A and B are shown apart, each in its own frame.
Chain A
């Protein structure tokens, strides 16, 4: 789960990381009040889950409170990469001496949190990593013992010469590690970490991604989710416990298992079709999940045909069959449905479907070819 910048700032502030003061506003009046409190020139930043906010006109300078209101009015409600801006962050336009990068990521390769720091901050860190990897210092942290003081110091010495600044940065390294662990993050980033002309070290921008698996037992983090920052059909799917991603094609896909779902999309493409979505109904099935899946897929007007591809293991194919029958009774499905199912309780599933005049195929290739043809005929 991605957090907005203002939410990430709050988590970093909670562990004591120094930052310029600033606050979030959802109206121009609120933005004006914050700008007045801060005093001087401020920056108004759109809070959306999209990169390139500046280029899209979502980051503006305002020299006084009334300008802050004007700029906020322009940014609030604007669309950046398909996402509507509902909030802006107002922070001072402070003078900056240096910019560095500090990131902490859960690394698959070493299976532990890895610190990455670079004095080449403020720019695209991926570009630095690609072109001049020697400018990024990496340090894996043993999660059982945590970040040792000497490791924090070593990271800080990569960034600064002045010992007062080194000590300040080392403290921030320890605090960021604490925020990473205590919030179950898979990424925590300060970019840039800045120094001011008078020598202070502060976090200017923050990005935090929370491991979705933590949310189950951390309702305090779950409330930070911003539904309006997601594709509406994807938010609906998540609430129905379905793993769903909307795509641009016209063949709707309902599959059990992420690997099989991806292989199904690939096969649709292989036979000349375009998948409309990725949808994994998960392991344990229930007729209700199937109903929700069909609701979400049929809401997309581009979908011309729907494919069910179910390989029963834990998933009982009769549950899926019951779900299909129940859904088609609850609401009208205007597009043709091709059903492929095999595995656990398939005899029962076929009987259920035949009872309402539906057919089930047992072969994946045959089913995909059929649904691609139907979608093409309807397009």
Chain B
């Protein structure tokens, strides 16, 4: 099985006619995702790739197609509003890929999203993929994944691919890989994913890929200690990063004592999480604990 998506997932793409949106929509279709509608204001009535209807609003797309998930590729200045639009239309799963959204936009969107009780993944994330049900929502390359029983949650994009690739080449499949995003304000966090993997009967072990900055990994460690009975393997990127510098992700800021790699690794170890020193170590650590 999988978390957050399954065979009943019917997906909308917001920004389907844009450069990024159209490229990744083709890839999602190719992978087998049930992509049922696109939304681009002003382009309602068109069809994408001759088969996916395009609507002017998310509300209309949901009403017409019964979609229950949306992925957002709209430009940064409009992406916060796109998240709110999807939440307002009652879409239960919203995945925002867009990078570079002003933090204030997300701060204003979050109370509304939470008020509607919908799940937001991202922004500034690669999305998620469940190889067993051929559901890809976002930009994680399908060809590096294979069906299996390891759940993965990560703050990074390409680092996630690196680790998944090691798993797949070693014959260890994945139930779901979730990229939660590197922005200061995100919807779904490590703990949400850990709990979902814990409850998923078809996930046997969990891989957590964190990085420097903030306290999300420390909170995740506390959750693992208190609630998670499945084996957990962890990695922290940025062990050699200089303090106080921003390393691409807005999230990767080390300030004061909360947020260094050492602190996060210590929290992982104290929670019984098996530490990967290198991305390749994921294979050995999982074999040891599975």
Contact = CB atoms under 8 A, between A and B. Distances in A.
B248 A258 contact: yes
Interface string B135-169: 00001110010000000001111111110010000
Interface stretch (A153-161, A275-283, A371-379): A275-283
Given A106-B103, A143-B111, 16 more contacts: A106-B107, A111-B107, A112-B107, A144-B108, A213-B76, A259-B158, A259-B249, A262-B211, A266-B237, A266-B240, A268-B240, A278-B248, A283-B99, A311-B161, A343-B141, A365-B278
Given A263-B162, A313-B139, A313-B141, A245 B245 contact: yes
A184 interface: yes
Nearest to A242: B248
Contacts of A267: 278-279
Nearest to A186: B103
Interface in A263-294: 263, 265-270, 275, 278, 280, 283-284
A243 interface: yes
A5 to B, nearest CB: 19
A181 interface: yes
A261 B141 contact: no
A263 B99 CA distance: 20
A-B residue pairs, 5 tightest by C-beta: A259-B156, A258-B248, A257-B158, A259-B159, A262-B237
B242 A245 contact: yes
Nearest to A342: B165
A211 B104 contact: yes
A214 B209 CA distance: 28
A344 interface: yes
9 contacts: A108-B214, A108-B215, A108-B251, A143-B104, A260-B156, A263-B279, A265-B240, A275-B240, A278-B245
Given A109-B215, A313-B141, A261 B104 contact: no
Interface in B18-76: 20, 23, 76
Interface string B211-244: 1101110000000000000000001011111100
Nearest to A362: B165
A113 interface: yes
B57 to A, nearest CB: 22
Interface centre among A113, A186, A262, A268 (most CB of B within 10 A): A262
A106 B247 contact: no
Interface centre among B99, B100, B248, B250 (most CB of A within 10 A): B248
Contacts of A112: 107, 110-111
Size range of the chain A interface in the assembly: 35 or more
B140 to A, nearest CB: 7
B205 interface: no
Contacts of B100: 213, 216
A247 interface: yes
Nearest to A310: B158
B22 to A, nearest CB: 13
B101 interface: yes
* A-side interface mostly: mixed
Contacts of B245: 245, 278
A143 B107 contact: yes
A211 to B, nearest CB: 5
B141 A213 contact: no
A186 B106 CA distance: 12
B109 to A, nearest CB: 9
B158 A213 contact: no
A261 B247 contact: yes
A202 B184 CA distance: 32
B170 to A, nearest CB: 13
Interface centre among B216, B238, B245 (most CB of A within 10 A): B238
A260 B77 contact: no
Given A143-B111, A258-B247, A364-B280, A126 B158 contact: no
Given A213-B100, A216-B77, A247-B242, A259 B209 contact: yes
Interface string B88-112: 0000000000011111101110111
A333 to B, nearest CB: 24
